[in-house]
Amino acid sequence: MTHQNLLVELFVEELPPKALKKLGDVFASQLCTQLRTLGLASADSVITPYASPRRLAAHITHVAAKAADKAVQQKLMPVSVGLDANGLATPALLKKLQALGADVSDPVFAVAALRKAPDGPSAGLRTGKAEALFYDSLVNGATLDVGLQQALLAALAQLPIPKVMSYQLETDCELPGWSSVNFVRPAHGLLALHGSAVVPVKLLGLSSGKVTQGHRFEALKSPVEVAHADDYATTLLRDGAVIASFSDRRFAIVQQLAQAAERLGPGFEVLMDDALLDEVTALVERPNVLTCAFETQFLDVPQECLILTMKANQKYFPLVDTQGRLTNRFLVVSNINPVDASFVIGGNERVVRPRLADAKFFFDQDCKKTLESRVAGLDKVVYHNKLGTQGERMARVCAIASALALQLGDAKLAKQAELAARLAKTDLLTDMVGEFPELQGIMGGYYARHDGLGADIADAIEDHYKPRFAGDELPRNPVGVVVALADKLETLVGMFGIGNLPTGDKDPFALRRHALGVIRMLVEKDLALDLNTLLAAAAPAFGDKIEDAGAALSDFVYDRLAGSLREQGYSALEVDAVLALRPQRLGDVPRRLAAVRAFTALAEAPALAAANKRISNILKKADAAAAVDAHVSKLLLQETAEKDLYAAMQDISPRAQVQFDAGDYTAALQTLAALRAPVDAFFDGVMVNAEALDLRLNRLGLLKTLHNAMNQVADLSRLAA
């Protein structure tokens, strides 16, 4: 069987740059998956995806010209249905066999064929609960031309195309006419090589060949002929001036950017951005990095504005100094490499200048009005039809922030938090944020400093959206923490209160992100705030606009916390044991988890966890009849084992309680581990459910007391296997 490497390329018009990398990866992986399913590619076949602005391609090693034949066994029908009383094939069996391509000209022979030994295309009689007839046949393996045709159609169907285009192709028949084709962009070429041989396939109205197109302006040859599947990348680079590999092209851009910054001197660094790198890689076929500059007067504008307009609008890479301050130099990734690059550099400098001028104009205009003067305008901005305007929302955030600040600090913190909350959303009404919504909060901080409001207020306004994403930094000062908490709590309580909950992957108000933000601030800042009290304190600010959804919101927060802790490396058992108690101070959770992890390393841990599970089950059944009181009468202790357990608890529990109250959860659990021996002896020698009611209640009270002492840090029964 002939095995060669396979190369398939679909040549198209310019593909969507933000989707290119994913399109290339999916095209290659799906193509190989389909070929493996057909037996044409093996598990050892290596996939190399290629993606450039005008092509999707895949190189797959060890592809067979024809798949191996495959034995197929098909169950036909029960013997009682397929054979008559004389053992001959019934019409139903003959019809089934005929549909499968078997020779049914002689019914006796047909039945004999079913009973033949499986040393060739045959079938055998199997027995089970009921005898049935099976037909064994040998299916010819798919040839590459047929299999690749199927694989291409399947791969295209799986492409994550952001938006489909419809375009017309002239039909290749004698009658004039046009046919409609749907794809992400119009396709103009199809290359399919198995080794050096063309695989005859058709796709999107195109027939395969061994030629493609190179760079629009710099290709040495047009078209570019590829002699062998393994020569694709090198031929395209040599004759077509195209780096076909997305990863190779991206690496080349990163290298050139670093080299360009180095040539300018040690005081320049490139602002690398993965998303921008991917997008620029998808815009060029052979990158050429050039250095440009703009007038220094634009550096008076907040650098975030300039950086954003250069990256978002122009796809440029800004250069900063060693302190992270923006310079007036920037880098451009060009798709051409002229001998004299001055025209390209000058053109890019002319293009960026109006953008920077717009940013400066917006900033200068915004500075003419104070943030305080914009507060009234929030009443004209709708936030949600059930929750009112941004002005109403601002008032709720102010109330929540003031209440939180009083719990965490004093009247000064409350006054600062209320002021920052009052002004936090006013930058939504500025020209700069209207043009660049990504700068909300950031511009508010700049304008607050311009208004002379001080660093605490300005930083709080800038930080109140934080953390914006996983791994983002938290607000810098207590005022920012309070306002950020209040802002996120207002969103969570309000949306849950009107029943606007996230479903599946839909979360338009980013409630999951808000919940994680609240969790991170409570945990990492170790705030002295109880979660349920926090949620309840936010509800009064809404008046009668919402229903009480505190329980559902609390569950939601703990679910997000559990997921976050598992992502941090804690085991499901550890997380379950700690969160089963619903600790209200989320700042305690890391210490509780550390204590549980240390406890599970002790030799006593498995036995105590199992005992706790047993105690939990006993108490659950007892509580179903009547509530068990955690009270023990020493006079009713009869058995030696229960007396010893009581005495051990009297000695150990107070010491563990002192450690627990001091927040030393690890020491508390390690102290309680000494109860293993008396607990084991108790269950070995004492009948808990004694016939005498007073004895039974006293022993249940002893177990209840033990259970309460053992499970203050975590529910240890959740650790039992």
Q: For position 115, what pLDDT does the model report?
A: 47
Q: What is the dihedral of CA 200, 202, 205, 208, to 10 degrees?
A: -40
Q: For position 117, what pLDDT does the model report?
A: 36
Q: CA angle, corner 228, sides to 223 and 229, nearest 5?
A: 100
Mean pLDDT score of the chain, rounded to an integer?
91
Q: For position 690, what pLDDT does the model report?
A: 87
| b/e code 419-453 from CB counts within 10 Å (16+ = b) | bbbbbbbbbbbbbbbeebeebbbbbbbbbbbebeb
Q: Is the dihedral of CA 95, 98, 104, 105 positive or negative?
A: positive
Q: What is the dihedral of CA 57, 61, 66, 69, to 10 degrees?
A: -120
Secondary structure of residue 316 in the 3-state scheme = coil
Residue pair 58/40 in contact (Cβ under 8 Å)? The answer is no
Q: Which of 567, 565, 569, 568 is nearest to 579 (CA)?
A: 565
Question: CA 351, CA 332: separation in Å to the nearest integer?
Answer: 12
Q: For position 108, what pLDDT does the model report?
A: 58
Residue pair 493/483 in contact (Cβ under 8 Å)? The answer is no
Phi, psi of 464 (to 5 degrees): -70, -15
Q: What one-letter code names the amino acid at 227?
A: A
Phi, psi of 117 (to 5 degrees): -65, 145
3-state secondary structure 589-630: HHHHHHHHHHHHCCCCHHHHHHHHHHHHHHHHHHHHHCCCCC
Q: For position 96, what pLDDT does the model report?
A: 82
* 93 burial level (CB within 10 Å; 0-12, 13-18, 19+): buried
Q: For position 140, what pLDDT does the model report?
A: 79
| b/e code 378-405 from CB counts within 10 Å (16+ = b) | beeeebbeebbebbbbbbbbbbbbbbbb
413 Cβ contact list (under 8 Å, min separation 6): 405, 406, 478, 479, 482
Residue written as token pair 């922030």: 401
Give me the residues of the chain with pLDDT under 50, please.
Answer: 115-128, 175
Q: What is the dihedral of CA 398, 399, 402, 403, to 10 degrees?
A: -150
Question: CA 675, CA 669: separation in Å to the nearest integer?
Answer: 10
Question: CA 15, CA 164: separation in Å to the nearest integer?
Answer: 11
